[in-house]
Amino acid sequence: MARKRIREDEEAAIDMTPMLDIVFIMLIFFIVTTSFVKEAGIEVNKPKAANQSKQKSANIFIAVKDTGEIWLDKRRVDIERVAANIEKLLAEQPSEVVIVQADKDAKHGVVVKVMDAIKEAGIDRISIAAAKG
């Protein structure tokens, strides 16, 4: 029996196409299933609370500074535009809960107006963020 001689310049090649297809499909899967959190964009001094619970399904955060400024999705928003901005964010990614991060020195009236705007946008569950204390 004669053996085939393999020339030295011929190397065994592995077809990488199926592996690249699988990696590409996994990348698409992870991009589609990822949830993005819409943070307020600023840090506020939250009031301390002895009893608090964590919200796990919140994707939208609104911050109210002590000066009365309202921040949503890393930009400043007027009180009249809060409901419209929340509706836009809900169209991109539905959420059941909105978390209001109000500064401990923020005026109560501004926080209530923000909560009214959230209700106007169609969110029934509103949580107020507090620091552990």
Q: How confident is the model at residue 9 (pLDDT cuts 50, 70, 90)?
A: low
| pLDDT value at 85 more than 70 | yes
pLDDT value, residue 21: 93
- Cα separation, 20 vs 15, whole angstroms: 10
Q: How many CB atoms lie within 10 A of CB 5?
A: 6
- Cα separation, 99 vs 90, whole angstroms: 14
| pLDDT value at 64 more than 60 | yes
Decide which of 78 and 37 is more confident: 78
Mean pLDDT of the chain: 82
**Segments making up each domain of the chain, as ranges:** 48-132
DSSP line for 56-82: SS--EEEEE-TTS-EEETTEEE-GGGH
Closest CA to 72 of 118, 109, 108: 118
Decide which of 52 and 95 is more confident: 95
Q: How confident is the model at residue 6 (pLDDT cuts 50, 70, 90)?
A: low
pLDDT digits (tens, 9 = 90+) for 31-48: 888 766 666 677 776 777
Q: How many CB atoms lie within 10 A of CB 58?
A: 18
Domain 48-132 has CATH 2.160.10.10: no
Amino acid at position 129, single letter: A
Q: How confident is the model at residue 8 (pLDDT cuts 50, 70, 90)?
A: low
- Cα separation, 39 vs 128, whole angstroms: 14
